[in-house]
Structure 1
Amino acid sequence: MIFSSPEFIFAFLPIVFLGYFLLNKFKLLYFGKVWLVAASLYFYSYWSLAYLPLMLGSIIFNYGLGIQLAKGAKRKKMMLITGIAANLLLLGYYKYTNFFLDNLNLLTGEDFHIAGIVLPIGISFYTFTQIAFLVDSYKGYAKEYDIVNYALFVTFFPHLIAGPILHHKEMMSQFKSLWTVPVRYRNIMMGLMIFGIGLFKKTMIADTFAVWADAGYTPGYHHDFYSAWVTSLSYTFQLYFDFSGYCDMAIGAALLFNIWLPLNFNSPYKSLNIQDFWRRWHITLGRYLRDYLYIPLGGNRCSVPRTYFNLFITFVIGGLWHGASWMFVIWGAMHGLALVVHRMWSSAGYRMYKPLAWFVTFLYVHIAWVFFRSHSLTDAMTILTSMFNLNSMTNMTIQDVPVDMLAMLGIQADKLSTFLPVGLAGYSVQFAAIACAFVIISFKNAIEIVVTDKQSTLKVTWVAFISSLALYMTLHTTSSVFLYFNF
């Protein structure tokens, strides 16, 4: 059950909403929280019951340890280290065991492998959330002595599967506040609006680009100049609108319950430098890496070379967090290196003309996504080489053009070259969609529309339009799983 499925929109979400506020109406506030926890556990177990005990065990372990840390137990530093290590070992077993064995096999020629290890959905997010809780408890920032409150903090379904990564202090004040108890129609309107925009991004934009990206990233696919750019840009925009759509739907769904999740995505393709990109893309992950890795390593309080190393290694590890693949490590290293270069550039006092700064930033991020998505270094280099192979741009023949695209456009192959370059005409639909995507990302995002737009008439119009469109899309499309569910 994903946010864009009919089961979620027309069954799960309304039932949970009505049950929660009905219990609140009869002043059964504690049972309202229990209801949300139970609903969230059902939402999680809908994917697979097999990993529900694992998550419950993780919650009980971290809750008990957090209480002891908050109470100032003896040798609490050792308890904190043990708790963090236990969480990382659990995550590492499911996420990296066979990756480690595969690399060991390359060195030794053996064939070690553990069959049956399947990555539990959401484990990276609820593990990182609970590590943050342990650290905050150790520092005295979090004091939670109610298992239901803690379980709700970890499992609240809008953020459970793919984030954002939460801090205890930013959520518990909301869960405990009486302000969240009654139905608030303004929040419902804003929540539906944000959710609807996210649904549009996911089902109509991201899932459309996914078809072209998946085809082009098939291992061994033969690329020319046009197909390489269509493939790479399709994934660049698929990931953008997929993750942006999820973040919008998560915020929108939570807002129905009067809960504001932290902003996790803020128009990152508008960024003018790589640092700005990471202040806009997966904001809570960047915050987490800064607070729990970069700063403990010494941050920028060290010598300049050590600061650069801290920055670089933080993003290498951040790349590995996304998955057990050297391609993610390469992607993380590329961003770490870019951040080091940006810091050196800024320290030297250099500036870049804004349009050029945007172009350079977007192009670099775009090229890095090729490594992020490719199955192997060979596949990535094939696409990148083809992207800059100008000979294939001018030497394409009618036979090189996708036949299905020609049929869709109603173009006869023997007349194609009379009005457009062969390659460009063959991918007209894709390039038109990419051009539209560039236009869309230049607009205000969903949160900006809701928060800054003061014209109530426009808001109502947006809600009516998005709601009706969302209804149509949900009934007439088959949506794929969100990409960040895999991380």
Structure 2
Amino acid sequence: MLILMSLIYYSYWYPFNLLVLLFSILFNYAFGTILNRIPSKVILTLGISFNLLLLGYFKYYNFFIQNINSFTHLSLQALSITLPIGISFFTFQKVGYLVDSYKQKTSHYKFSSYLLFVVFFPQLIAGPIVHHSKLVPQFSDTSIFNFNYENITRGIFLFTIGLSKKLLLADSLAPLANTVFDKSEGLTLLEAWGGALSYTLQLYFDFSGYSDMAIGLALIFNIKLPINFDSPYKSLNIIDFWRRWHITLSSFLRDYLYISLGGSRKGKFRKYLNLFITMVLGGIWHGAGWTYVIWGILHGLYLLTNHAFRDLGFKMSAIPARIMTLFFVTLAWIFFRANNLSDANKVLSGFLGLNGVKFHNLTYINKQEVILIIFAVIIVLLPNSNQILDKFKPNFRWFVFIMVLMILSLYSLNNPSQFLYFQF
């Protein structure tokens, strides 16, 4: 039933995407079965190449054509390609499966279990990026077929928290971020900071809200998905940030890219180089554009600097460390959000105060938006969804809290809304 529901769910928007997904699933399961019997690096390379080529065609083909035309003055024709939702996420999951099949770790998986592992609807289109070893064994546990009222209650609670983060916070912050990044010129310091912070907060509430909803939905079916966010904007440094932000992506990049490149086993220079390469490729994974490459480069440089200071024994007290970390994270988000390098430079100029400072008669930000940003920052500093769930009890007080959030969220459903991470 879960497989059927998930396939209908995925095909609802654009049925052709389901054919792409099913073809990819059949190919990867077949290659995984072969690798379990014949652990060949050649077969593994072919399997990984297939996944990367499929992802490359749908996500990066027109980007390559555009750049070839720019550098060579050719007029190669771009294609009208509809990006299958979630292709970046389920590609990573299937690559991890192939690597572990090569290591003889998946030989006991049935096709139905593998199919549900990929298509399970709460996490199919935007993660968390679940490792097969964390999910497939749960399908063999017969207790998941029983009604567990504690899991259902906790799942509804977490889903509601995620829904309210998305609809009440992320969507309220979106208009200012969109105005600053898409329309404005000559941004002053306060306006650029308002737009950059709006997007920084919007992205967090959007994606962590989606992750809460996915984890909550799975819990209703007695299936546990991994935590994906742990108060990343409370981080003391960039290393700490990547242990808290999109945790499942960080784990994948570490286990299947950084360690595969050699990790820290071949000396300090190779360690730093591997870190840098990992973050640049992580940037490219997010999107087909030079802004994502620069975002990855910035985080690569951040990590190198953080590790270098750590190796020198440099320490900083908590409050300035958090402020500095948030500053550099926000600066990098400017490139992540901008439509192109020109727009990024426009916002960055204002962000660094190059267009002057004004506190009155501001064009692109008003007092209500400043209050909203301050309120959102306070929410970020409070206990996160996972910590609130630990305190949750199915009593009347919590019931009222859930119902208020649910009613406010449902009331907001008519407002324009889009999950930011669907584009990745």
Question: Given the two structures, how large is their TM-score scaled by the length of structure 1?
Answer: 0.84
Aligned residue pairs: how many? 424
Q: Deviations over 1:96-132 (max 9, x none)?
A: 1111121111221112133212211111111111111
Aligned mate of 2:14, from 37, 40, 48: 48
Hey, what's the Cα distance between the residues in 1 that align with 2:214 and 2:267?
41
* 2:415 is equivalent to residue 484 of structure 1: no
Contact 1:316/1:333 (<8 A) preserved:
yes
* 2:284 is equivalent to residue 320 of structure 1: yes
* 2:380 is equivalent to residue 441 of structure 1: yes
Hey, what's the Cα distance between the residues in 2 that align with 1:355 and 1:342?
17
* 2:2 is equivalent to residue 63 of structure 1: no
Identity %: 46
Hey, what's the Cα distance between the residues in 1 that align with 2:252 and 2:398?
34
Residue equivalent to 1:372: 336
Residue equivalent to 1:347: 311
Aligned mate of 1:135, from 86, 99, 104: 99
Residue equivalent to 1:91: 55
Q: Deviations over 1:17-47 (max 9, x none)?
A: xxxxxxxxxxxxxxxxxx1111101111111
Residue equivalent to 1:387: 351
- Residue 296 of structure 1 deviates from its aligned partner by 0.8
- Greater mean alpha carbon deviation, residues 113-122 or residues 348-357: 113-122
Write the mapping of 1:24-423 to structure 2, written as runs, cut at 5 A: 35-70=1-36, 72-73=37-38, 76-218=40-182, 221-389=185-353, 392-394=356-358, 398=361, 401=363
- Residue 390 of structure 1 deviates from its aligned partner by 7.4
Contact 1:316/1:329 (<8 A) preserved:
yes
Distance 1:432 1:104, change over 3 A: same
Hey, what's the Cα distance between the residues in 2 that align with 1:478 and 1:441?
23
- Greater mean alpha carbon deviation, residues 121-130 or residues 455-464: 455-464
Q: Deviations over 1:68-92 (max 9, x none)?
A: 222x22x622111110011111111
Aligned mate of 1:472, from 407, 411, 415: 411
Contact 1:144/1:150 (<8 A) preserved:
no
Hey, what's the Cα distance between the residues in 2 that align with 1:290 and 1:261?
19
Hey, what's the Cα distance between the residues in 1 that align with 2:342 and 2:29?
45
Hey, what's the Cα distance between the residues in 2 that align with 1:77 and 1:333?
30
Q: Secondary structure at the match of 1:467?
A: helix
- Residue 468 of structure 1 deviates from its aligned partner by 3.4
Hey, what's the Cα distance between the residues in 2 that align with 1:113 and 1:368?
32
- Residue 383 of structure 1 deviates from its aligned partner by 1.3
- Residue 389 of structure 1 deviates from its aligned partner by 2.4
Distance 1:258 1:222, change over 3 A: same
RMSD value over aligned CA atoms?
Answer: 1.8
**Runs (5+) with no aligned partner, structure 2:** none
**Larger Rg over CA atoms:** 1
Higher relative contact order (CA 8 A, sep 6+): 2
Hey, what's the Cα distance between the residues in 2 that align with 1:221 and 1:47?
36
- Residue 453 of structure 1 deviates from its aligned partner by 4.6
Contact 2:188/2:358 (<8 A) preserved:
no
Hey, what's the Cα distance between the residues in 2 that align with 1:392 and 1:53?
53
Partner amino acid for 1:133? Y
Contact 1:67/1:144 (<8 A) preserved:
no
Hey, what's the Cα distance between the residues in 2 that align with 1:90 and 1:327?
22
Partner amino acid for 1:236? T
Contact 2:168/2:409 (<8 A) preserved:
no
Contact 1:220/1:379 (<8 A) preserved:
no
Q: Deviations over 1:432-487 (max 9, x none)?
A: 0010011001111111111245685553343333333334334xx33522111000
Aligned mate of 1:427, from 366, 369, 386: 366
Distance 1:394 1:467, change over 3 A: closer
Q: Secondary structure at the match of 1:217?
A: helix
Question: Given the two structures, how large is their TM-score scaled by the length of structure 2?
Answer: 0.96
Distance 1:269 1:140, change over 3 A: same
Partner amino acid for 1:485? F
Hey, what's the Cα distance between the residues in 1 that align with 2:92 and 2:139?
20
Hey, what's the Cα distance between the residues in 2 that align with 1:258 and 1:439?
33
Distance 1:394 1:92, change over 3 A: closer
Contact 2:66/2:78 (<8 A) preserved:
no
Hey, what's the Cα distance between the residues in 2 that align with 1:291 and 1:87?
18
Q: Secondary structure at the match of 2:225?
A: coil
- Residue 284 of structure 1 deviates from its aligned partner by 0.8
- Residue 212 of structure 1 deviates from its aligned partner by 1.1
Contact 2:122/2:215 (<8 A) preserved:
yes
Hey, what's the Cα distance between the residues in 1 that align with 2:359 and 2:93?
53
Hey, what's the Cα distance between the residues in 1 that align with 2:181 and 2:31?
44
Residue equivalent to 1:450: 389
